[in-house]
């Protein structure tokens, strides 16, 4: 059973938002893409099945909810996600700290 009600798109997405590209225990976030407003499991999934117009969130919109915890369904504002030290502020599930290496693909 999915712990959240958000639709998360991508390739072989499981109930905690893991996909064919990122599927370790701590890979449990999905990102709402600025360009299309839809949640995807990762950038590669958006490239494969998304709108074809990838665009990053501008800094002035970092107060908007665009990160989904796949464990509890909590939606984090971008700034909240960037400051959460790879831990969900709602359920304390760990996020993959390596995601910070890819933040430029999602956020300005």
Q: Which DSSP symbol is given to 31?
A: E
Amino acid 100: pLDDT: 87
Cβ-contact 30, 40 below 8 angstroms: yes
- Work out the widest C-alpha separation in the chain, in whole angstroms: 36
Both tokens of 6, joined, read 């958000």
Amino acid 50: pLDDT: 95
> Taking the model in full, what pTM does it have?
0.94
Across the 108 residues of the chain, what is the mean pLDDT of every consecutive 10-residue run? 81 96 96 97 96 96 98 97 97 95 95
Q: Where are the domains of the chain?
A: 8-105
Both tokens of 14, joined, read 């499981």
Amino acid 1: pLDDT: 52
């Amino acid at each position: 059973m999915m712990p959240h009600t958000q639709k998360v798109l991508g390739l072989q997405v499981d109930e905690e938002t893991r996909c064919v590209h990122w599927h370790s225990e701590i890979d449990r976030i999905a990102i709402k893409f600025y360009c299309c407003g839809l949640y995807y499991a990762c950038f590669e999934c958006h490239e494969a099945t998304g709108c074809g117009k990838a665009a990053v969130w501008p800094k002035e919109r970092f107060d908007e909810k665009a990160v989904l915890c796949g464990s509890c369904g909590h939606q984090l504002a971008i700034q909240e996600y960037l400051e959460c030290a790879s831990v969900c502020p709602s359920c304390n599930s760990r996020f993959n700290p390596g995601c910070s290496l890819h933040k430029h693909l999602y956020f300005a």
